[in-house]
Amino acid sequence: METTVRRVKLHRAQAEFRRSKSLYRAFVGGRGAGKSWCGAYDLLRRARPGRSYLVGSPTGVLMGDTTFPTFKALAQDFGVWGSVRLSPYPTATILLDGGEAEVRFRTAEDPERMRGPNLSGAWLDEASLMTEDAFKIVIACLREGGQQGWLSATFTPKGWAHWTHGVFASGRPDTELFRAKTAENPFLPASFADTLRQQYDDGFAAQELDGEFVDLEGAEWPVSYFGPQVWFDDWLPSSEYLHTVIGFDPNRGREAKAGDYAALTVVRLDRHYQMWVDASLSNTGDIHQHVGRGVALGREYPGSSMVVETNIGSELLIAEVERQQRKSNTLFPVMGYENRVPKLDRIRMKLGPYLARGRFRFRATKGGKMLVAQLQQFPNGEHDDGPDSLELAVRRLEEIVNGGTG
């Protein structure tokens, strides 16, 4: 087969998505942001001879109207389209240097039907219209030839509580998300995005045109509280911080639910009274391991103190913290708070005013992103352990600054 060189123009987000080496990658964007085209192009570029790939679409209608014709047209344009069997689902052959690759097209209407032979890669188009089961079933097939396969997903976002946000935007290992606005696609008509925006309300425009994970209906705080301005990567020099408090919610109170997280939140107050925040959340391991994480944080931030929720007999945690301090030659103050005000009221009253005034900055770590996701879903999210531990730390900081024991 003769090799042909083609130059393809990609806009910024498409190019970053293509260059990513993460195993699980998502391209999320507004309508017309070039998501499906980029997903098809990415698969064609990644395909290898003798390998099998899967393309998933939410329904047969979307498969027939968008996903399959987009892939076929692009493969034909590049001169690599071979043949296709159309029953019961399309299975295409693409022609590559050195041989052929097989691409199976399947729908996610019944995720169980996405089980099948081992794969080298998969592309889920309009993944936000699928259930999380489809994603979980497909990634378990990515093992062709004893090698780890990759998965890409393209979709318009459906909110902070949707599984696509939890998978692709919460800092999981080997996972990366790329976002594009409709207006960033230079290949659209110049007025396309503006014309649509005139017909949409602000929330729908943020989702459908800006590719944003918009507020949940009934969420306590607007999405504007959590814009790009709240994130930071690295701490300031330690000399810039006046106080550091670690809030520890052990997930053992009367309001705890199965699957909740043990949450440790570090809050550092700077000279301008800005609060810089990072978090470590885990729903695996036992309480001794969670305490160990807390003691390690105390070592990492000299001069810090810890506050622990002591409801339902958890005051024994303080003794365990002190035991592990002695064992690791670590020393920092630790005290307990027994919470008498309901959790939702505490979080709402303590954190809301600071969020509204932009007094928090959140570190862009896995734990920091999980904490912010829980704040954005509050009070309707499945978990609120991160906000609970943040409230503990802020309450303690207020006592220190306002003349309590420090």
Residues 199 and 142 in one domain: yes
- Mean per-residue pLDDT for 55-67? 93
d(CA 218, CA 20): 35
Question: pLDDT grade, residue 169 (50/70/90)?
Answer: confident
Phi, psi of 260 (to 5 degrees): -65, 165
Q: What is the mean pLDDT of the chain?
A: 88
Residues 254 and 175 in one domain: no
- Mean per-residue pLDDT for 353-358? 95
Please tell me the total count of domains within the chain: 2
Q: Is the dihedral of CA 305, 308, 310, 315 positive or negative?
A: negative
Tens-place pLDDT, residues 180-203: 888 888 878 888 888 888 887 676
Residues 196 and 241 in one domain: no
- 191 is in which domain, residue-wise? 12-214
Domain assignment present for residue 45? The answer is yes
Is the pLDDT at 258 greater than 70? The verdict is no
Is the pLDDT at 26 greater than 70? The verdict is yes
Q: Which helix (H) or strand (E) holds 168?
A: helix 163-168
The strand pair at 24-29 and 150-155 is best described as: parallel
Please give the pLDDT value at position 404: 60
Domain assignment present for residue 406? The answer is no
Question: pLDDT grade, residue 121 (50/70/90)?
Answer: very high
Residues 205 and 233 in one domain: no
CATH number at residue 391: 3.30.420.240
Residues 207 and 255 in one domain: no
Tens-place pLDDT, residues 212-227: 776 656 778 887 788 7
Q: Of 99-103, 230-234, 312-316, 358-362, which range is least confident?
A: 312-316
Question: pLDDT grade, residue 35 (50/70/90)?
Answer: very high
Question: pLDDT grade, residue 312 (50/70/90)?
Answer: low
Residues 259 and 363 in one domain: yes
The strand pair at 334-337 and 91-96 is best described as: unpaired
The region that residue 50 occupies, defined by phi over 0 for left and psi between -120 and 50 for alpha, beta otherwise, is left
Residues 239 and 186 in one domain: no
Pick the closest to residue 284 from 251, 316, 246 (CA basis): 251
Is the pLDDT at 1 greater than 50? The verdict is no
Residues 58 and 192 in one domain: yes
Global pTM value? 0.58
Domain assignment present for residue 308? The answer is yes
Domain assignment present for residue 248? The answer is yes
Residues 17 and 87 in one domain: yes
Pick the closest to residue 21 from 150, 154, 195 (CA basis): 150
Q: Which residues pair with 213 in a beta bridge?
A: none
d(CA 395, CA 265): 12
SS3 25: strand
Pick the closest to residue 118 from 104, 107, 135 (CA basis): 104
d(CA 96, CA 47): 8
Q: Which residue type is seen at 368?
A: G
- Distance separating the N- and C-terminal Cα atoms of the chain: 75
The strand pair at 334-337 and 305-309 is best described as: parallel
CATH number at residue 139: 3.40.50.300
Residues 186 and 289 in one domain: no
111 in Cβ contact with 57 (< 8 Å):
no
Distances (CA, A) of 175 to 120, 150, 207, 364: 17, 10, 22, 14
Q: At what angle do helices 316-327 and 287-300 cross, to 10 degrees?
A: 60
Share of the chain above pLDDT 90, in %: 57
Domain assignment present for residue 3? The answer is no
Question: pLDDT grade, residue 254 (50/70/90)?
Answer: very low
